[in-house]
Structure formats: structure tokens, C-alpha cells
Amino acid sequence: MAHDSGPIWGTLDPFVEDGPILGRKVANTGFLRALLTADPFAQYHFFLPDMHSGAALESFVRSVRPGAASKIRFLPRTALPEYLASTTYHCFHLSDCLTHQGFLAAVRNRLARNVFPITGVTHSLSYARYGQSFAQHVWAGATARDCIVATSRAGAAVVREELAALREHCGAPAPQVDVVPLGVWRDEFAEIGREGLPDDLAGKTVFLVPGRISPYSKMDLLPLLRAFQRLRRGGTELGGVCLVLAGSPDEGASLPGTLTNLAANIGLRLVVVRCPDDGTKKALLGRADVVVSLADNPQETFGLTLLEAAAAGKPVIASDYDGYRDLVVHGKTGFLVPTADSGEVGDVSLLAPLLYDTAYHLWLAQDVAVDVGELAASLGVMLRPEVREEMGRTAREHSAAFDWPAVIGRYLALWERLGAEPAPAPGEGESRHPLALDHGRIFRSYPTRRLWDEDMLEMTDLGRAVYRGKDFPVVYAGVEGRVDLELMRMVLVWTRHPVDWASLRARADGHPAATATVMWMLKGDLLRLSPER
């Protein structure tokens, strides 16, 4: 029975996660809120791994978009085969391209009613284990309707390089790569309060650095202090300047204290706001005159904090690194400070799979140099109020291209384009993914033997009692989707006298649960293997 009622959007992910606030979580919940606000689909199907994620998702939907709740279906992941076979999906979109995307394509190719587009978005791309995750995308079943969505041009270049390297080894097809940025809710940053801020920020030109205070996972802040030191040596008075670091430092790290002491030595007022909540973050952004972010770590891919700064009408000084260059128009909305690396980090790549993530990310980041002279010059220019005000106005205007409704429009256009790409007919695409275990083949040595076509099956005494309603079978939770009790009753009728397995399968006429149901009946003593063959 078909479940169609108009265009249907599907996913395997809840897009809503508990725990500490991270850029990935902010981006995913922002996307979902924007999609449901635009509400372009008749239904939204979430095939979730557990009930907990469904509860968190339902609570989120009711809080941000209660009108869409009636269109949302929370489904167990195990129901995917049934729904793919009976539903025409417009697309599936995943909150991360490195979890299930290639394996979902395999299931679609074999079972789905239509070959719908599958997209997944990038987040961090630099973890050593991600080479294995990217490998799922390069296989014979990849189609032109499959697409990895990078959030920046630099991120797209990384993905293309990774896919190209994998294709050199296996020569298989790979999905497309397209760019759709993350978004921001501009209206939420139009007017920001400043309550609860330190009193000593009054009357200062505030340079705000939002984000983790960590050279291991975000950025090295020493070049920024060295740039202020250059200004001081060049005769610039820093008494009216305050540098604010707002974020969580590495656990047990002494870096904030080291930076405070260094700033004091050069006559710069430095304030560290550890682990600010959302209200404090926004208040600091509202008070800031300039936002500074000098990412040098490949874990960074996009730069949501820069987008929020632009939406708040704040000029930015940022490293010309990764996705930052997509967000800052140099000389118009802020300044991009040149960066350089050696490219000679083969030893790091070799060791990375054997190390903690923080170790090799620090090594990689220390191979990226921010031009301190250019940084000092940019800081000096930003000390002029008229420059900050003009750049802030331009930044606010520029952020309109990243407003979430505009970003969702780009996704809708992408899904339409992908849906028109050529693809194999339903059921004809390659579905045996080389990275998925073929359990039937690999574990064939475990049992004594297999069920053969000529094996004779017959009803047991217990099976006869179950058929007459005098006893009852036991079906474990989690198995009910694979076992068909109506088919069980028919099998009990067919096996009143011994019948060979090949004939029994033929009578089931291709029923998808035939094998699983019969094996369950053998296991539960409803059937037995007859000694006749």
C-alpha cells in the first residue's frame, strides 16, 4: 500500500542532539527549523535508531514549529525497507555525510520505489578516521543523484580531493559535490541586549574572539597578541582597547592565564569569559566593536561565529583560511589575513591514525602561519570608528545571502536538480556495498550446515497446537518486522505433510518475509526438518 500524499522528505537523523553546544549541533538544528518553517513538503519521515532521539526531536518541533508536527512521522529505522518499497520520496537528507550516506544508497538501489536523491552535509573533515568514512561513497552503486553538500568552497575542495584519492585506488564512481552554506537567523541578531557584561568594558574598543580557547582544536591566539604587540611598538596606544576571549578552554589548560600575563606585559587589557551561555555570548557580540577569528586548525570548515557577527552588523578580522573566505568580503565587511603552510606534513598523516585527535591537529595547526604584520595592520585600521561602522553596515547587508530561508531555497533547488539527473531504474542499481559485511557469505562456516532446496519441512506438534489456537508463539521485540504471523499460519497449513524448501518458497510467491519466518518457525519448534530428503 502506497504512503504517498505529496512530496515527502526523508532522513535517518534526528538533527537534534543533547549535550554541550557545538557548531555542528547549532547548524543541524538551524537547518531543521528552517526547513520546517519553509514547510515545502507534505510529510517528513524520520527513520530513527531509538525512541530517545524521537522524544528529543518531537519536543524540539513542538517548541519551534508546532504547526508542522502533524506532518512529521517518527519511524523506527527497521521500517525503512517497507517504506522505501511503498513510498515515492522526493529526497533523503542526512545531517552528516560521513555516517550512513553510501550505505543508504545501497538500500535505496535495491529496495526503493524510486531512485531519489540522497544528500549529506559536511562538518569537520580532518579526523584521521574519516578516510574510512569517505570510502563508503566511492563504489559501483553511487549515482548522479547522490551528492555531498559542502558548506564552503574550501570544504568542497577537500571532499573532491578525498574522493579523487579514493578513486585512484578503486576506480569506482563517486557522488557529486556541491556547495550550500550554513545559515543564520538574521532577525535574531538585529537587536542584541548587553546585560550582564563586565563593567570594565565600558568606554573600550572591544575586540571579541568567540569560540574555543584552544590551539588544539580551534586557533592559536599568540599571533593575535603578537600583532597587538607590534601596534604598541609602532606607537599605537592600547589603553582604550580590550580583547575579550569568550569560549571554553581545554580542560586543565593554563593557556588563558598565559595569555592574560602576556597581554599585561604589552599593555593590553584582556578579559576571559569562560564557557559563556547563549545569553552572554549574544550580549558580548552586541557590545563588541570588532570580531576576530584566526582559525588555523583544519577541524574548522565553515565559521558560524563569523556569520553571526555579520548578522549583528559587526566587522570581522579573520584568517584567510578554510570557509572563512566565503564569509568575509575583504576590505568591505572586514579583513582576511593571509595564511601559509608548508604542505610537508606527510609524517603527520602517517601517524595520525595512531594518535589522539588533539595531538595531530595541533601539529597540523602549527604548520599554518598567520601573517602577523598584515594582522597588525588590520587591527590598526579597525581602531578607526568610521571604518568599523561602515564595514558593520555592509556586513549586515551581506549576511542576507546566508539567512536560513535563503539557504533552504538553495537546498530545494539542489534536490530538484539532482532528481532530474540520470539514474538506474528502481531495483537495477548496484546494491552490494563492498564495505558492508555480507553476513551470509562471511559467516557460512559457523552453523553445521545450511537449509537446502531439497530439505523437507513439516509441522511439529507445537505447530499444530499454535495453528489450532491452543498455544502461542513467542516473538521478541525487534523481530516482529521480519516475521509475518499470517504467513506463519499459511506455512503451517502447507507443512501438514512434508514439503521441500524449494516448493515451500514457491508457494510463498516471493513473500519478503518467507525465509525469515520459516527459520524463526524452525527455531521455535513450529517446524522441523524431516529425515526424508
Can you give the residue ranges of every domain in the chain? 8-183+409-419, 193-400, 444-529
> What percentage of the chain exceeds 90 in pLDDT?
81
Contact, 99 vs 130, CB < 8 A?
no
Does 102 score more than 90 pLDDT? yes
Least confident of 166-170, 199-203, 304-308, 339-343: 199-203
- Is the distance from CB of 303 to CB of 336 less than 8 angstroms? no
Give pLDDT, residue 1: 45
For residue 57, the Cα-to-chain-centroid distance in whole angstroms is 16
The CATH fold of domain 193-400: Rossmann fold (3.40.50)
Mean pLDDT in the chain?
93
Residue 174 has pLDDT above 80, yes or no: yes
How would residue 347 be classed by pLDDT, with cut points 50, 70 and 90?
A: very high
What whole-number distance in Å separates Cα of residue 234 and Cα of residue 237?
Answer: 9
Q: What pLDDT score does 375 carry?
A: 98
Domains 8-183+409-419 and 193-400 share a fold: yes
Query: What is the percentage of the chain residues whose pLDDT exceeds 70?
Result: 97
The torsion defined by the Cα of 253, 259, 262 and 268, in degrees rounded to 10, comes to: -160
Give the pLDDT of residue 69. Answer: 86
Which pLDDT band holds residue 56 (cuts at 50, 70, 90)? confident
| SS3 call for 16 | coil
Average pLDDT for 286-297: 96
Q: Is the pLDDT of residue 92 over 90?
A: yes
Residue-level pLDDT at 343: 93
Tell me what the mean pLDDT of segment 360-369 comes to: 95
Mean pLDDT of 80-85: 95
Q: How many angstroms separate the most distant Cα atoms in the chain? A: 102
Nearest Cα neighbor of 423 from 178, 143, 176 is 143
pLDDT computed for residue 21 by the predictor? 60
Residue 127 CA to residue 244 CA, distance in Å, equals: 29
Express each pLDDT in 221-280 by its tens digit: 999 999 999 999 999 999 999 999 999 887 656 778 888 899 999 999 999 998 898 888
| Residue partners of 439: CB distance under 8 A and separation at least 6 | none
Task: Quickly count: other Cβ atoms within 10 Å of residue 256's Cβ.
Answer: 17
Give every CB contact of residue 23 below 8 A, 6+ residues apart in sequence: 123, 302, 304
Number of neighbours of residue 490 by Cβ within 10 angstroms: 16
| Mean pLDDT value across residues 101-105 | 98
- Residues 181, 31: contact at Cβ < 8 Å? no
Q: Is the pLDDT of residue 2 over 60?
A: no
What's this model's pTM, rounded to 2 decimal places?
A: 0.92
* pLDDT tier, 147 (very low <50, low <70, confident <90, very high otherwise): very high
Q: What is the pLDDT of residue 72?
A: 94
CATH number of 8-183+409-419: 3.40.50.2000
The residue ranking higher by pLDDT, 432 or 533, is 432
Query: pLDDT at position 140, please?
Result: 96
Question: Residue 61: pLDDT above 60?
Answer: yes
pLDDT of 165 strictly over 50: yes
